[in-house]
Structure 1
């Protein structure tokens, strides 16, 4: 009886359409047999990335890893006395001024003022608490401090905004975890000036570099230069670790993008009448 009624409606000129909000006299789950598989679509809305885009993505991740390695290396330099605290502060100030002058050409003056206020706030607070900071964790073992610092830096790398949304991506988490690691490491330095220099370096690496990255997108060449700098700094103190870091950066910046580019051809998704209706 239902089949006769449906046939009658079709004969009377009613044409089935996949539309949720209009009633054509058919059941909600009705689909004509001749159009069921014909409506199937493969790889709908699937984006395929070219080689340049794949290398660009690897450069973003590689750049962030290089910055963390550079931060760790300069901490070791401060701790071992290979660089003076005043030298590091002066060098960072020069780079900071040059960066802001270049940044001024790309963005508005209000953005510069906002970023300058944030930087100044971190530096003033850091210098004010540095006499307390470098003696903060004397009762905690060095191995525990190093483990906590490493965990904070790993969390920083996992939660950094690489340009792709995700449940763990959070600029506040990445910044706080980086500053947490800095506080732990600064408490193992020998003077409050050294602790302030490390905080200054953390502000540069974890606050300013992400802010500048919104304007200066990293590319494979810039990321490779950053990787060479980080590996060179680490090689002076830990040659074996520098080799491992070099292999890691090569894997992230070159092997992973090439691999991703190759496996894109295996993407297979199908869409059809069985999908849930969506509002357009």
Structure 2
């Protein structure tokens, strides 16, 4: 540090100063700041955020278990159609109740009419396309179909939108659309291996419900009280593990362990790792320009 009466170092570039280029004043660390933008996580909040991943993985394995049963002819496709229609009606009621804070009464009525019209169009389109889908991969080996569908479901899980719902409903992004397309494509190639047209129709109807409609409903469910959200997650995870257990207890055990790790283990690791966060800020940071909008 320069003595009294002598020239003191200043943080300027336009003035020539009698100091070497690598000179560091004693006050250099006075403005050191650590973890200024750090917000500590709560285990409860992380578990609730991970519930969206648990729900999505559960829907994938529910779909796979249904496909196996249809392929083995141990599940009547007519029963699946009626169950899918019933759950669609129930989901529509839940959706109508959940969207009340976001839309006026006349807007909800218009959305309801649009949803009914779209549902009928999808229903009729699947009826007409089922015979075509059944013969889509007739010349492809089953091993290739299993590998392709597995890869598509992995893409679907990786690209799915697990963000918390916004205060104002937003349109789906490109990544979410790619995720849905991957799941529907996997459903198409799996449905093409089923023995009857009715089985193809029932499975595709289920795929539309699980991979196109349920992710939208899941956004609304994330906005309900935490107890209800977690209870719904436990119910759908239990249903997926139970459906897999009757097919393969070993796979069901692995899947149950995966869900427990995703729901509780991952948040616990993140809670443990946040103690090592060490973000250092100071006057030596690169300047960030702030462009003022024209007035």
TM-score range, shorter chain: 0.7 to 0.9
| TM-score under structure 1 length normalisation | 0.84
Name the structure 2 match of 1:20: none
1:134-175 per-residue CA deviation (whole Å, 9 max, x = no partner) reads 1111111111101101110010000001118xxx98111111
Alpha-carbon distance change, 9 to 188 in structure 1, aligned in 2, over 3 angstroms: closer
| Cα distance, 1:57 vs structure 2 | 2.1
Counterpart of 2:149?
149
1:75-104 CA deviation, whole Å, 9 max, x = no partner?
111111221111111111111111111211
Written as runs of structure 1 = structure 2, the 5 A alignment for 1:160-175 is 160-163=160-163, 170-175=175-180
Number of aligned residues: 260
CA gap 1:144/1:223 in 2 versus in 1, 3 angstroms:
same
Which residue of the other structure, out of 214, 236, 247, is the alignment partner of 2:246? 236
- Which whole-Å deviations, capped at 9, do the CAs of 1:248-274 have from their partners, x for residues lacking one? 111111111112112211111111122
Over residues 103-131 of structure 1, what are the superposed CA-to-partner deviations in whole Å (9 max), with x where a residue is unaligned? 11222414444544554443333222111
5+ residue gaps in structure 2?
A: 1-6, 165-172, 291-295
- Give structure 1 stretches of 5+ with no counterpart: 1-6, 11-15, 17-22
Q: Which residue of structure 1 lines up, in the alignment, with residue 232 of structure 2?
A: 222
Task: Give the whole-Å Cα distance in 1 for the aligned partners of 2:95 and 2:72.
Answer: 34
CA offset digits 1:211-267 (Å, max 9, x no partner) = 111211183332222111001011111121111111111111111111211221111
Write out aligned runs for 1:34-113 (5 A).
35-107=27-99, 108=103, 109=108, 110-113=110-113
1:139 aligns with 2:144: no
Q: Is this contact kept in 1: 2:245–2:252, CA < 8 A?
A: yes
Q: CA RMSD in A?
A: 2.8
Pick the aligned partner of 1:251 from 248, 261, 269.
Answer: 261
Q: Structure 2-normalised TM-score?
A: 0.80
